[in-house]
Structure 1
Amino acid sequence: MSKSENSCGDAKWRVLVDDVGVSTPRQVVQVAVIRAQASIGGDFVLVRDHNSPNDVVLDDDGTVDLGDGNVFYTLRRCDVQSRGECQEPAKLAIFVDDRVEIVTRRDQTGKMVLQLFGIGLNVQLIRDYESPSDEPVALDDAALYDDGPVFVTRQREDGLKITVNSRVFTEDDGVKSKMTGGEIAALVYPEKPQETCVRLLSGGERLVEFAERITIALCATFSVIRKGVTGGYEQSRVGLEVGKLMEGGATVTVVDKPAAVVYHDLAVKPGLPIAKTDVLVLIPGGYPGQMIDGAYLPQGSQLLGRVKGSPQGNTVAALGQTWQLVSYHPHTNGIGPAWAPTKHGFHTYIGEIMSWLHDVV
């Protein structure tokens, strides 16, 4: 939203003078106002910072458009020498919650501003105006410097989020107050949501039909299971992905030797002799360029020979027990999507394992 389209009034402007933030009444302001607010003595001049030998020295009696740059410093008048025309872009100071960061890029987005300040994406960025009606800035919205460099943050008032396959999704991911079963499934299986089975787990477990539209309760929990899977023949990033699952309530362990992730207490198809199982998945040596593949069940598990995929002779020892490999390949011979390193990971592979454990003979 541009200034011309905004009805909130004038955006607030601030300047940075000798690394100190100073508020100004408007974008185009008299130099004398900045000097007074920054307590600049008569022996000093105000200079706009372009990171150039030809930084612009401002006339004490002139005006300055902060849209051209709002980072300044002072120099003693006796030290000022003649300068050529400045060709370098001016530094731009962006303020969020009274903190400041300096950039040269004008075309920011809400997400870029939050990341610049190291602020989590679960808060609302607000452009600060000289009125009670400030402007929310969504993650993908433009947060242009030219529209005003002063922002504040606040906790999102809606707080609408759901958990699907132990992953937390918010409105930024597409969560709405009313969703169909298909829309819920598409959060974890965007390629073929129609080939899944969606169940509401919180507030009374039940099936949610693909076209059924339900009201999303705060923090509702769902499982999305694909209707069929096939077997085959046969790291900081890992920590981040596992962290997403643990945030959603899953119990997951990262093992060093062998390098593996263990999903604990995953539900099995109802009616079998066991209700839950742990599953170990090796971390590929070239991960994430090399795809995640296969699954290990505890040796002697009643699921061996019943889940899709043949039990293999390969075994590993971890967490005080032996695990046996099953040739399950959801990203190749299965019906899962082709491996995409930028999209898939251990936070999505849990869904493949959940589907696998529900297609048992």
Structure 2
Amino acid sequence: MSTVTRSSTSRTSLLASRPVRVGLLVLAAVVLVVLPLLLPPLGNQTLVRIGVYAVAILGLNIVMGYTGQVNLGQIFFVGLGAYVTAYGVMHDWNILLVLVAACVIPGAVGLLVALAAARLGGLAIAMVTIALPIIGVPLAKRLDEFTGGSQGVSAIFSNAPDWSGLFNDQWQYYIVLVVAAVGFALAAKLVRGKYGRAFSVVKNNESVAAAMGVSPYWTKVLAFTIASIFGGASGFLYIAAVQYTSPETLSFGHSIALLAAMVIGGAGSIAGSLIGGAYYVLVPQLTNAVDPNLTTVSQGVLLLAVLFLLPGGLVSLPRTIRRALRRRGGDHRSPTGPAPGDTPNPPARDPMTEDAPETTPTREARP
């Protein structure tokens, strides 16, 4: 066995151990809690927006990445959750009740859509989900009593309370962190359990799923409803971060951008949803800074590059690098015998077939 292969295997075994994983999780939690106290307002607001859209992409990943069901209308549920949140805040609802309503109402609407659309496939279900944001924009303009019409509506509930000792951007960060962390934890538990296995079977072959006693129809309904709930939660966080929403929030272009972010981050991956959220927020800023006239072209080129070089999304980059190192290690094995310390006459191995484990804001003073 080559030195490169041995070192790669030992690192993989080390990361797979439970104490190391727990230690890394604790370290990540500490960093996430302390980070907003060290960053300027612009940094915190950027992280807040990443968290907002990562939750929306997470829901989209459940229905598309894990279940293989087309959904081109996720932004509709984000906008609906934002409007429900704004309405509840303006009518002085308890903020926890507002969060529940922002999740339940989009979830109920998603359930109704899924009951009608889950039997469809391919182009038909794509057209149904495309219709959601197309209908949602004029509907939001017409229902001005609830939505504020074309002018939109503002709702402020995420300013830091006096007792917290925090600035507004820090308080908003912690709101997004708590909701997003709960959402990601629940999603990880879902896709690793029996429902996640059902999603996978339905995605791969619906006939096999039916033969195994898994209903493709009800599995798709469940996945779509869960995605709608996550969309509503993202809408709640959107109001916490932006404190304003309008019919433009439901624009179909935003839905396509969410889909592209999911693909670039990594379809069928919890971590890929977080990467997708970072892409959704950061890449437009970077491409706009390079050349505002070529922003759309630059994003399209980046999308094509990722699809060609990393079909599994950016989340698959470490796995791709490990496989390349193993290939290189296999090509440089000594033909004269094992290296010192290796087991004599090791069994033949093909490294190619081995599976690898998977406007600048100003900080406002506290009120």
Choose 1 or 2 for highest CA Rg.
1
Q: Which structure would you say has the larger RCO, counting Cα contacts within 8 Å and 6 or more residues apart? A: 2
- TM-score category by the smaller chain? under 0.3
Give the TM-score taking structure 2 as reference length.
0.20
Higher helix share: 2
